[in-house]
């Protein structure tokens, strides 16, 4: 993994955001190679999901939406989980997932070793004023509070207040600074009740929350909601008939509790989501269809089958909106992890937005038979099957899968690294290299690049350093073909074409080389 991160920086795929200022956690910038790779992956997705079929149309919605969208979808509620800090071991955990403990029952605190237990003993005595008894690394004598749970790490009942932790990024729409309003509220409150008291604190909290949330909008935590909200617009403007899908790619934002594994989990990430609307009852059928379709696609962009698997969600890990979910998982260097979730969202979202907005979000099929009346013509709320893939994650998986440094290195030479990317997603399709920088070779080379560019093939001309170094550099960014211009080129118009994976070279006319590259792109 370290090698991949290092290659990404060295060759211009991914840089850490704001690096010269010390970097910003969990934010990454995509360099010249990275932007090509990511766009190519997203483009392949769009081609597979939208352009190569008639039943799916695209959408590009704004990132900020009406705040009621998130209330209706359940994100405002389920993204604000009550978090608690343990005063003994410092662990932060979700109150609703903590171990239950009968109020008043003994709570045994277990630390990782005796030293920590000793320190904890003193800490509890000093800060909380409770004397406990120590036996090795466990502390006895504490009792569970009437909250009914204890620390998920050490078992202590000495906990901070529950705090809401909103996973959505909140900002404020409008030119009026909410801080200004908050200040006014505070000043008014001080005048009303100058003494500090728990009641004043509670009132202050309410006032401040209102000052901030009145103009609050959220950065979308998923692109999906825009597709539900625009359901009727799209049905009516494009005469879509069920089953059909709406596809969208774009950035989403989540305040993750932890960010990790390079670009794998970051607060700002890019999604490729599609909502497929089907008649009630046909959900399972389409789940099966999209499961195989999506795995097929990941293989098509180059991931090895042995590194891909489908995993069914356990009932207890299903999201609030879902009655069935499969993850497409990839075997990353740190283990199996999720690339895409294929979820049956039932009619949850359309129903929720019907309730939230008061607008009817349903579909009328004049041909279908209404199962209740037995008559022709059926109005229903479609069910949704959602393949939601991570573009950012996809790119990391592609990089991991293509990365190859297994070739034994020769004495005294640096390790050869090759990115074995499929031609279609490779940032540069073809590099044109003059063997030496003289005898008209640079001019001939540039002419060839122009020809390739005119044919719509992203190519690059490179004359720096010795030929071997240039080959190595292009191997590292995954360029599938290198054309080398030599002395013979100006005599008979031929070049040598070098295959990245085999390093085999062949002398062919420039025109034939163009055909080879075009054919490779056609195949994938």
Partner RNA sequence: GCGGGAGUAACUCAGUUGGUAGAGUGCCAGCCUUCCAAGCUGGGAGUCGCGAGUUCGAAUCUCGUCUCCCGCUCCA
For RNA, the binding residues in 186-225 under the rule CB under 7 A are 222
Q: Which of 102, 122, 288, 317 binds RNA (CB under 7 A)?
A: 317
Q: Residues 136 to 195: which contact RNA by CB under 7 A?
A: none
Q: Residues 18 to 37: which contact RNA by CB under 7 A?
A: 20, 22-26
What is the rounded CA–CA span in Å between residue 34 and residue 425? 11
Place of tokens 């010249």: 32
Stretch that binds RNA, among 197-205, 211-219, 355-363, 465-473 (CB under 7 A): 465-473
8 A C-beta contact, residue 397 and residue 303: yes
CB under 8 Å to 274, separation ≥6 — which residues? Answer: 49, 56, 245, 246, 247, 248, 386, 387, 388
Taking CB under 7 A as the rule, does residue 262 contact RNA?
Answer: yes
Taking CB under 7 A as the rule, does residue 435 contact RNA?
Answer: yes
Place of tokens 């998986």: 397
What is the rounded CA–CA span in Å between residue 498 and residue 508? 11
Stretch that binds RNA, among 232-240, 365-373, 375-383, 463-471 (CB under 7 A): 463-471
Rounded least distance, CB 342 to RNA, Å:
8
Rounded least distance, CB 224 to RNA, Å:
8
Question: N- to C-terminal Cα distance for the chain?
Answer: 26
Rounded least distance, CB 453 to RNA, Å:
21
Is the bond into 243 cis (omega within 30 degrees of 0)?
Answer: yes
Q: Which is nearer to RNA, 31 or 284 (CB)?
A: 31
Q: Which of 168, 339, 421, 431 binds RNA (CB under 7 A)?
A: 339
Q: Can you read off the two tokens belonging to residue 109?
A: 């605190």
Taking CB under 7 A as the rule, does residue 341 contact RNA?
Answer: yes
Q: Which is nearer to RNA, 174 or 468 (CB)?
A: 468
Taking CB under 7 A as the rule, does residue 269 contact RNA?
Answer: yes
The distance of Cα 239 from the centroid of its chain, to the nearest Å, equals: 32
Taking CB under 7 A as the rule, does residue 63 contact RNA?
Answer: no
The distance of Cα 29 from the centroid of its chain, to the nearest Å, equals: 14
φ and ψ at residue 49, rounded to 5 degrees: -90, -35
Checking phi first, is residue 478 left (phi over 0); if not, alpha (psi -120 to 50) or beta? left
CB under 8 Å to 56, separation ≥6 — which residues? Answer: 49, 50, 244, 245, 246, 247, 274, 276
> Which stretches within 455-497 are classed as H helix?
467-477, 489-492
Q: Residues 80 to 109: which contact RNA by CB under 7 A?
A: 85, 89-94, 97
Stretch that binds RNA, among 55-63, 168-176, 179-187, 462-470 (CB under 7 A): 462-470
Q: Residues 481 to 510: which contact RNA by CB under 7 A?
A: 484, 486-487, 496, 498, 503-505
Contacts with RNA by CB under 7 A: the residue count is 80
Taking CB under 7 A as the rule, does residue 406 contact RNA?
Answer: no
Taking CB under 7 A as the rule, does residue 257 contact RNA?
Answer: yes
Q: Which of 173, 187, 188, 466 binds RNA (CB under 7 A)?
A: 466
């Amino acid at each position: 993994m370290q090698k991949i991160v290092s290659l990404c920086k060295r060759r211009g795929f991914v840089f850490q955001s704001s690096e010269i200022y010390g970097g910003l956690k969990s934010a990454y910038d995509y360099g010249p190679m990275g932007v090509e790779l990511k766009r190519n992956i997203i483009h392949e997705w769009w081609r597979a999901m939208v352009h190569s079929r008639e039943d799916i149309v695209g959408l590009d919605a704004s990132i900020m939406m009406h705040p009621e969208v998130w209330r209706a979808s359940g994100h405002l509620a389920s993204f604000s989980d009550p978090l608690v800090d343990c005063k003994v071991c410092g662990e932060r955990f979700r109150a609703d997932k903590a171990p239950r403990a009968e109020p008043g029952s003994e709570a045994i605190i277990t630390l990782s070793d005796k030293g920590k237990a000793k320190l904890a003993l003193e800490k509890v005595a000093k800060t909380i004023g409770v004397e406990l008894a120590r036996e090795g690394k466990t502390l006895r004598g504490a009792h569970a509070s009437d909250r009914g749970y204890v620390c998920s790490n050490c078992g202590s009942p000495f906990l901070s207040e529950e705090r809401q932790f909103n996973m959505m990024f909140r900002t404020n729409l409008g030119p009026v600074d909410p801080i200004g309003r908050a200040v006014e509220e505070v000043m008014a409150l001080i005048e009303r009740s100058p003494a500090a008291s728990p009641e004043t604190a509670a009132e202050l909290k309410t006032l401040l929350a209102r000052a901030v949330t009145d103009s609050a909008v959220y950065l979308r935590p998923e692109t999906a909601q825009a597709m539900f909200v625009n359901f009727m617009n799209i049905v009516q403007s494009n005469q879509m008939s069920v089953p059909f899908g709406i596809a969208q790619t774009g950035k989403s934002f989540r305040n993750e509790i932890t960010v990790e594994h390079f670009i794998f989990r970051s607060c700002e990430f890019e999604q490729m989501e599609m909502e497929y609307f089907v008649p009630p009852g046909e959900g399972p059928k389409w789940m099966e269809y999209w499961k195989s379709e999506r795995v097929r696609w990941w293989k098509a962009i180059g991931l090895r089958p042995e590194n891909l698997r489908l995993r069914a969600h356990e009932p207890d890990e299903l999201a609030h909106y879902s009655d069935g979910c499969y993850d497409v998982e990839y075997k990353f260097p740190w283990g199996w992890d999720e690339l895409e979730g294929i979820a049956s969202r039932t009619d949850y979202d359309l129903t929720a937005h019907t309730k939230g907005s008061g607008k009817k979000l349903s579909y009328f099929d004049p041909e279908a038979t209404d199962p209740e009346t037995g008559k022709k013509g059926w109005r229903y709320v479609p069910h949704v099957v959602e393949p939601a893939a991570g573009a950012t994650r996809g790119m990391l998986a592609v990089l991991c899968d293509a990365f190859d440094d297994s070739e034994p290195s020769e004495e005294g030479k640096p390790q050869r690294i090759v990115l074995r990317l499929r031609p279609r997603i490779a940032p540069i399709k073809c590099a044109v290299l003059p063997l030496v920088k003289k005898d008209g070779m640079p001019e001939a080379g540039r002419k060839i690049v122009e020809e390739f560019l005119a044919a719509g093939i992203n190519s690059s001309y490179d004359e720096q350093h010795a030929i071997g170094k240039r080959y190595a550099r292009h191997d590292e960014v995954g360029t599938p073909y290198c054309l080398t211009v030599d002395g013979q080129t100006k005599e008979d118009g031929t070049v040598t074409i070098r295959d990245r994976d085999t390093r085999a070279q062949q002398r062919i006319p420039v025109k034939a080389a163009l055909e080879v590259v075009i054919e490779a792109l056609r195949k994938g």
